[in-house]
């Protein structure tokens, strides 16, 4: 169950209540006090901010218990998650101050003109003389935001800002959120091409399928820079990394396992493709209508591609039917679709990656008793399988070697690098994937990605530490 942190500002009437009464009321209604700040002390009354950790479902109970209590006046309730979003989560900052006219004439006109001319004469100089070499656009149209669906470009912004924060904190990449007010494929392609000159790479985010496939493919063909749809490939890379390690835990091999992937959208298609490249021979892709089967006919081009693959099973069935006997379940669909019984019907030592956000396909309470390895996309449970493990290091590597694109060998190298961060001695059911705060993750991905880019001839620059 997910917890939230709320700050309750309360005024206590000392003639009627003590702080002990407040603490007891909070505790009885399911809250856990984590800090107390006195805002206004006083003899007859006092005002305090009480920070309370509480399960999402219990928040109202805590608030109501204080409202009802004689002698307690509830002045305000602030959700800390909302508080950290006030005014947005990133800002633009100059790299140097402009202290006088002399500085002004260098960073701006007239001095800047000769720099412009230099770039005009040699466009590659944009990489050394502008923010291009370290700046990525995080672009969405707001149509497949987390598992929330088509919530539009304004509502998508907090996720994009969050991705930009992660790019910066984890890999030093300057990322800028761009939320497009169009869902038209051609208009999106045109717009991204038009704004691309200032960026060193494009991270596409939360654009629903099947439009995301066309948008990414066309941009990769038409722009000479890394284009990466995070929900497709970031997710596939981290799944492969987690699976490589989970298979070691359960002592099974990629060639022998039967894998059910639920939700054949952006993430699901790329995961299926990468599973096949990694050697999976028994694959069951499933979407709303049930299994996508070998030999079937589908209007969705990527589903048709899957139906033409020899490793895809031919048996029809609903998710609850096809999951029976499976070794691995990978969910990238939506929350709460399966229960403990479904997991119990899987083969021995089941591996369950329930990665829908914000709610996984099967909750930990239901899945953990019946699975050997359980992972979600969330940071509040063990084994967080989330594309945040991938995109910062991958773009760090791609920018550092000025890669022309992000190709399959670079992605596979990134997956192996992530898996390698968990050593053989550390590996266990609850630790198949490193934490995003493990500094080795970005370092290892960068190294692997740069090497793969050089080997495949797409690097335009050899970073100093590779010379």
Ligand X SMILES: NC(=O)C1=CN([C@@H]2O[C@H](COP(=O)(O)OP(=O)(O)OC[C@H]3O[C@@H](n4cnc5c(N)ncnc54)[C@H](O)[C@@H]3O)[C@@H](O)[C@H]2O)C=CC1
Q: Distance from CA of residue 163 to its chain's centroid? A: 7
Please give the size of the binding site for ligand X, defined by CB under 6 A: 28
Residues making up the binding site for a divalent metal cation: 205-206, 231
Site string for Mg ion, 336-375 (x = CB under 5 A): ----------------------------------------
Q: Can you name the residues that pair with 201 across neighbouring β-strands?
A: 136
Buried b (16+ CB within 10 A) or exposed e, 257-268: bbbbbbbbbbbb
Q: Is 132 within 8 Å of 174 (Cβ atoms)?
A: no
Length of the chain: 467
Tell me 230's DSSP state: I
Q: How far apart are CA 136 and CA 312, in angstroms?
A: 36
| Distance of alpha carbon 25 from alpha carbon 182, whole angstroms | 49
User: In the bound complex, what is the minimum distance in angstroms from residue 148's beta carbon to ligand X?
Assistant: 8
Other Cβ atoms less than 10 A from the Cβ of 208: the count is: 17
Q: In whole angstroms, what is the distance from residue 446 CA to residue 394 CA?
A: 6
CA angle 363, 275, 287 (to 5 degrees): 55
Distance from C-alpha of 344 to C-alpha of 261, rounded to nearest angstrom: 17
Cβ-contact 377, 352 below 8 angstroms: no
Distances, alpha carbon 60 to alpha carbons 24, 29, 35, 72, 74, in Å: 16, 9, 19, 16, 13
Task: Return the SS3 of 45.
Answer: strand
Residues flagged as binding site: 205-206, 231, 357, 386
Report if residue 206 touches ligand PYR, rule: CB under 6 A: yes
Nearer to ligand X, 142 or 147 (CB): 147
**203 scored as a contact of ligand PYR (CB under 6 A):** no
- Does 386 bind ligand PYR (CB under 6 A)? Our answer is yes
Q: Which does 447 bind (CB under 5 to 8 A by kind): ligand PYR, ligand X, Mg ion, none?
A: none
Site for Mg ion in 52-91 (CB under 5 A): none
CB of 150 to ligand X, least distance (A): 9
Residue ranges of the annotated binding site for (S)-malate are 357, 386
Residue 231 found at the interface with Mg ion (CB under 5 A): yes
Quick one: DSSP state of residue 335? S
Instruction: Considering only residues 348 through 377, tell me which ones interact with ligand PYR, judged by CB under 6 A.
Output: 357, 377
Question: 55, 74, 146, 436: which one contacts ligand PYR (CB under 6 A)?
Answer: 146
Separation between Cα atoms, residue 459 and residue 163, nearest integer Å: 25
Is the Cβ of residue 287 or residue 429 nearer to ligand X in the bound state? 287
The interface partner of residue 287, options being ligand PYR, Mg ion, ligand X, none and the CB cut-off 5 to 8 Å by kind, is ligand X
Q: What distance in Å separates the CA atoms of residue 256 and residue 270, rounded to the nearest whole number? A: 20
Show contacts with ligand X in window 249-288 (CB under 6 A).
Answer: 262-268, 286-288
Token pair recorded at residue 309: 């693959």
CB of 389 to ligand PYR, least distance (A): 10
Which residues are marked as active site?
Answer: 108, 163
Tell me: does residue 332 bind ligand X (CB under 6 A).
Answer: yes
Task: Tell me how far, at minimum, the Cβ of 234 lies from ligand X, in Å.
Answer: 7
Token pair in block for residue 466: 């590779």
Is 161 one of the binding residues for ligand PYR (CB under 6 A)?
no
> Under rule CB under 6 A, which residues in 221-250 are in contact with ligand X?
231, 235
Query: Which stretch in 51-59, 82-90, 96-104, 329-337 sits in contact with ligand X by CB under 6 A?
Result: 329-337
Q: Quick count: other Cβ atoms within 10 Å of Cβ 298?
A: 17
Figure out which of the listed residues 48, 252, 334, 446 binds ligand X, where binding follows CB under 6 A. 334
Among 161, 206, 342, 366, binds Mg ion (CB under 5 A): 206
Which residues in this chain contact ligand X in the complex, by CB under 6 A?
Answer: 144, 146-147, 208-209, 231, 235, 262-268, 286-288, 332-334, 337, 355-357, 377, 385-387
Which residues in this chain contact ligand PYR in the complex, by CB under 6 A?
Answer: 146, 206, 230-231, 357, 377, 386-387
Which residues in this chain contact Mg ion in the complex, by CB under 5 A?
Answer: 206, 231
């Amino acid at each position: 169950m997910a917890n939230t942190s709320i700050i309750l500002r309360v005024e206590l009437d000392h003639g009627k209540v003590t702080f002990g009464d407040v603490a007891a009321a909070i505790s009885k209604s399911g809250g856990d006090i984590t800090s107390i700040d006195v805002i206004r002390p006083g003899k007859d009354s006092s005002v305090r901010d009480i920070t309370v950790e509480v399960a999402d479902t219990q928040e109202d109970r805590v608030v109501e218990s204080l409202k009802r209590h004689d002698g307690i006046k509830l002045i305000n309730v602030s959700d800390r998650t909302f508080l950290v979003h006030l005014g947005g989560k990133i800002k633009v900052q100059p790299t140097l101050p402009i202290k006088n006219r002399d500085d002004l004439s260098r960073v701006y006109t007239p001095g800047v003109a000769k720099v412009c001319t230099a770039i005009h004469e040699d466009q590659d100089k944009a990489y050394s003389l502008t923010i291009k070499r370290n700046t990525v656009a995080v672009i969405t149209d707001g149509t497949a935001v987390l598992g929330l669906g088509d919530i539009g470009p304004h509502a998508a912004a907090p996720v994009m800002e969050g991705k930009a924060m992660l790019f910066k904190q984890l890999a030093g990449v300057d990322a800028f959120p761009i939320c497009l007010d169009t869902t038209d494929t051609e208009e999106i392609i045109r717009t991204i091409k038009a704004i691309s000159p200032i960026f060193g790479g494009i991270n596409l985010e939360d654009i629903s399928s099947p439009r995301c496939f066309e948008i990414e493919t066309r941009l990769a063909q038409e722009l000479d820079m890394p284009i990466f749809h995070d929900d497709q490939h970031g997710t596939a890379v981290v799944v492969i990394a987690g699976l490589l390690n989970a298979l070691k835990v359960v002592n099974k091999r990629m060639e022998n396992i039967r894998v059910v992937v639920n939700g054949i959208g952006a993430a699901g298609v790329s995961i299926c493709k990468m599973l096949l490249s990694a050697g999976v021979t028994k694959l069951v892709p499933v979407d709303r209508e049930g299994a996508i089967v070998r030999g079937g006919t589908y209007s969705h081009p990527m589903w048709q591609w899957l139906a033409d693959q020899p490793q895809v099973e031919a048996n029809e069935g609903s998710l609850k039917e096809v999951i029976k006997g499976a070794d691995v379940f990978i969910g990238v669909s939506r929350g709460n679709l399966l229960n403990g019984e479904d997991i119990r019907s899987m083969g021995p030592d089941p591996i369950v990656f329930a990665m829908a956000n914000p709610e996984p396909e099967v909750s930990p309470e239901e899945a953990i008793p019946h699975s050997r390895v359980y992972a979600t996309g969330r940071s509040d449970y063990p084994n967080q399988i989330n594309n945040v493990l991938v995109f910062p290091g991958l773009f760090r590597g791609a920018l550092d070697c000025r890669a022309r694109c992000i190709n399959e060998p670079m992605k596979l190298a990134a997956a192996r690098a992530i898996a390698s961060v968990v050593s053989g001695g550390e590996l266990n059911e609850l630790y198949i994937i490193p934490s995003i705060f493990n500094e080795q993750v970005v370092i290892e991905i960068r190294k692997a990605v740069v090497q793969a880019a050089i080997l495949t001839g797409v690097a335009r620059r050899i970073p100093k530490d590779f010379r």
